[in-house]
Each structure stands twice: as structure tokens, then as C-alpha cells.
Amino acid sequence: MQKFTWKLGAAAALLLLAAGGGAWWWSQASTPAVSYRSAKIERGQLQASVSASGTVNPVTQVSVGTQVSGQIKELMVDFNSEVKAGQLIARIDPETFEYRMRQAQADLDAAQAAVLTAQANSAAARAGVSRARVDHAEALRDLERKKSLVEKQFISQTEAEKAQALVNTTRESVASADAQLGVAAAQVKSAQASVAQRQAALSQARVDLQRTQITSPVSGIVIKRAVERGQTVAASLQAPELFVIAQNLQDMQVEASIDESDVSRIRLGQRATFTVDAFPGQAFEGEIRQVRKAAQNVANVVTYVAVIGFSNSGGRLLPGMTANVRVVTDTREGVLKIPNAALRVRIAGVEPAQAPVDAAAPAGEQKARPQGRAADSPGRAVTRGRIHLLDAGGKPRAFNVRLGITDGTATELLVPAGAPEASELKEGATVVTGVIGASAPKAPIGPRMPF
């Protein structure tokens, strides 16, 4: 009986062991193995760039208008016509302005005749003053004679009184003649001022007549003609645009709209390349000549205009073409670089051994810095990130790392000299770029690159 009981217990134990083994085998078979996509840390060149779109324009583009109104009588140029500075390119009907100039000339002649009349009146007034003074002097002499005769009782007192009255009368005549001379002088000045006004009106009429001849202000090529022969143009509040002349199509520029988040990376003299749809697959080179500080807000998007100058040899590129611009803002040679996908990987349960430290701090005084915060590194923008390396056994290890520039595909890996992780974060190390398997968590978005 005891032997039977022992055999029964042994059979039960074997049955339990087999059930446990089956359960373990089933669980292992139902759980897919986790695998990783990986890449190597490489050393090479990185270029950070800014992409934008813009328009090809001449460096100097002049809009030619008119300051007078009238009907276009003649057109001497058309699209693509080459013109010289001062060349006659259009003419407005001058008949009305010729009549105005003739009228202004006639008014001037009349005003000059009025001056001569006023001068003659002034001369007559001066003669009247002289005559009145002579009469007054004669009356004074006569009064003196009659006073002496009255004292000798040769004539009566009445004669002396008459002589005194004549002196008073001639004195007033002199004052009246002086006043008339002043009036005549004022009339002369008024007539002379009228002449100056008529001369100004004649000059204005002559200028308006000259303005009926539209001339080119610069030498270049007509890229736009906005009028036709017989069309009437009206110059009221502003001059209407008749032509647009590009001064030089051999030296042109691209006016690119740079996003406000990228404008701080644009500098004068930076190399830029761009393409146009007219020449697919061909890149043109230029450089940054100007970054305009005037902001443009379109649909709540703030941009700034960067002017990229280039030599348009052969005149292949035409004004108005759309250019896709790429501006190289930074270049690094011989740096460690990792795929950007590696910065987006997160593996559950795998954490870095320690928080990142500030490489700029002196040894022994380094402080932990929260992930994602930039370290102070002179002359180089730095951000924080996390990557995972595979060890010799294929297991991932997490590292907090410092990152430099990016070209959109790869990112610079900054490893300070003497750092504890320098022996592992090196060229040829295997970095995880993705997780494959049921247990793989969704990859969160990594830290935003500054480039």
C-alpha cells in the first residue's frame, strides 16, 4: 500500500512538472521576441541649412510713369527692348500743353508791357515832384520880397498874406507829388512781380510740355509695358505706371522669405544655392547680400526677406521665377553623427545611468542638468537628447547625450574629452534607431533640434 501511494505521488509530481513545462513553453511561444533596428555612429561632414522660397528679381528695377495726363500718341519701345538712359520711349499728345505754353508766353508779354507803363508813370511822377518843388521855391522867394516891401510900406499887408498862402499851397503840392511818386514806384514793383509770376507760369508750362516726352531714367531692358497707343493716362494722386525697366539682367537677386525661427541663423556672406522649375536638376549659387529688418506678416506667419545675389551669366534666369533656396548656415568637418531616428527611440525600463552634466563646468563642480536644456558652449549651440546603444550581448543601454547641428537626417553627437561615456560613444558604436516587437512602446517625439 505504501509502495502504491509512493508511485501515485511520483506520477502526480511528474504530471505537475509536465504541466508547468508546457505552460512555460506556451508562454514563450506566444510572446514574440523583441528586436531592434540599428545603425552605426559615423564620423564625417554635417551641414546645417535653412530652406525657403523666393522670387528672382533684378537688382535695380525702375518703374517709369508720367507726371502729366493725356493720350499716348507714340510708343517707341516694347517688351524686351534695350534702352539707354535718356532715350525717348513714349510721347503723350503735346497739343494741349503747347497751347498752354503760348498762353503763358502771351501773359508774360502783357506783364512786361505793364512794367514799361508803370515805369513811364513813375517817371512822370518824378517830373511832377520836381515841378512842385520849383513852384514852392519860387513862392518862398516871392514871400521874402513882399515881406521886405511891406516893411518899407511899398505894398500892403494883403499882398504879403497872399504870398504866404501861395507858399502853403506849393508845399502841399510837393507832398502830393511825393505821394504820387510813391504810388508809381509801387506800381512798378507790382508790375515786375507780375512779370516774375508769368515767367514762372511759362516755365511750368514748358516743363509740362517736356514731360509729354517719356524718357528712360536708366539703361536696361523693358520687362513690362502697361500702356497701348491711344490710351489715356491720368496723373492725379500718383503717377501711373507705364513701363518697368530692369537695369541689368546679368546681376540679379533672389528675395527669399525666411521664417522668424530661422532668421537668426542667416548672416551676410553665407553661401546659398537655389533651383528653379525652368531648369530642373540644376543648382545655382549665390550669397546673402542683405537681411531686411522689415517683418512681413501673412496669415499670422512672420517672415523676413533675405536678398541672395548671384551672377545671371547668359541671362538664363528671368525676373519673376520662383526659386527654392537652401542657405548653408553651418558646416562641421569630421564630427560624430547619429541618425535622427535614434533620438526618437524610447525603450521601457531602460534608463540612463546618470543625468547629463554640464561639460563647461570645471571638474569636481559639474551639476546635473535637466534633459533637453542647452549647455553653455561658446560658439556652438547645444541641445540635450537620449540615445540607446547595443552592447555585445545585443541589450540596449541608454545615454544622455549632447547634440550639435543637424542636416535633417543626421545630428552631430558632442562627446566632451575625458567624459566617462567617451569610450562607448565613439565611431562604429551601434545605436538603436527603432524597436520591433509586441512589447515595443510608441516612440515619443524627441527633443526639438535648434537647427
* Tens-place pLDDT, residues 115-134: 999 999 999 999 988 998 99
Please provide residue 327's backbone torsions phi and psi, each rounded to the nearest 5 degrees. Answer: -105, 120
Q: Coil, strand or helix: which one is 211?
A: helix
| CATH architecture for segment(s) 65-92+213-245 | Beta Barrel (2.40)
| Cβ pair 73, 93 in contact under 8 A | yes
Task: Look at residue 451 in the predicted model and tell me its pLDDT.
Answer: 40
What number of other Cβ atoms are within 10 A of residue 44's Cβ? 12
Superfamily of domain 95-210 in CATH is: Helix Hairpins (1.10.287.620)
Task: Look at residue 24 in the predicted model and tell me its pLDDT.
Answer: 54
| Domain limits, CATH 2.40.50.100, in the chain | 65-92+213-245
Query: How far, CA to CA in Å, does 17 sit from each of 26, 31, 47, 54, 108?
Result: 14, 21, 63, 75, 131
| Cβ pair 272, 328 in contact under 8 A | yes
Average pLDDT, the chain: 84
pLDDT-derived band at 41, boundaries 50, 70, 90: very high
Contacts of 92 (CB under 8 A, 6+ apart): 66, 68, 70, 71, 72, 73, 211, 212, 213, 214, 233
Please provide residue 64's backbone torsions phi and psi, each rounded to the nearest 5 degrees. Answer: -100, 125
Q: Coil, strand or helix: which one is 267?
A: coil
Residue 87's nearest CA partner among 215, 278, 245 is 215
Task: Look at residue 269 in the predicted model and tell me its pLDDT.
Answer: 92
Query: How far, CA to CA in Å, does 351 sit from each of 163, 389, 398?
Result: 136, 12, 5
* Helical (H) or strand (E) element with 334: strand 322-339
The answer on pLDDT for 388 being more than 70 is yes
Contacts of 216 (CB under 8 A, 6+ apart): 64, 83, 84, 85, 86, 87, 89, 243, 245
The answer on pLDDT for 370 being more than 50 is no
The answer on pLDDT for 208 being more than 90 is yes
Amino acid, res. 99: Y
Task: Look at residue 353 in the predicted model and tell me its pLDDT.
Answer: 74
* Helical (H) or strand (E) element with 50: strand 42-58
Q: Which three cell numbers stand for residue 252?
A: 540679379
What number of other Cβ atoms are within 10 A of residue 95's Cβ? 12
Residue 449's nearest CA partner among 405, 410, 413, 409 is 405
| Cβ pair 38, 345 in contact under 8 A | no
| Cβ pair 175, 70 in contact under 8 A | no
| Domain limits, CATH 1.10.287.620, in the chain | 95-210
pLDDT digits (tens, 9 = 90+) for 142-196: 888 888 888 888 888 888 888 889 889 988 988 998 899 899 999 999 999 999 9
pLDDT-derived band at 375, boundaries 50, 70, 90: very low
Task: Look at residue 341 in the predicted model and tell me its pLDDT.
Answer: 92
| Domain limits, CATH 2.40.30.170, in the chain | 50-58+250-330
End-to-end CA distance of the chain: 84
**Residue 418 DSSP class:** T
Task: Look at residue 285 in the predicted model and tell me its pLDDT.
Answer: 94
| Cβ pair 209, 92 in contact under 8 A | no
CATH of the domain spanning 50-58+250-330? 2.40.30.170
Q: Which three cell numbers stand for residue 189?
A: 514793383
Task: Look at residue 18 in the predicted model and tell me its pLDDT.
Answer: 67
The answer on pLDDT for 358 being more than 60 is no
Task: Look at residue 94 in the predicted model and tell me its pLDDT.
Answer: 94
Task: Look at residue 20 in the predicted model and tell me its pLDDT.
Answer: 64
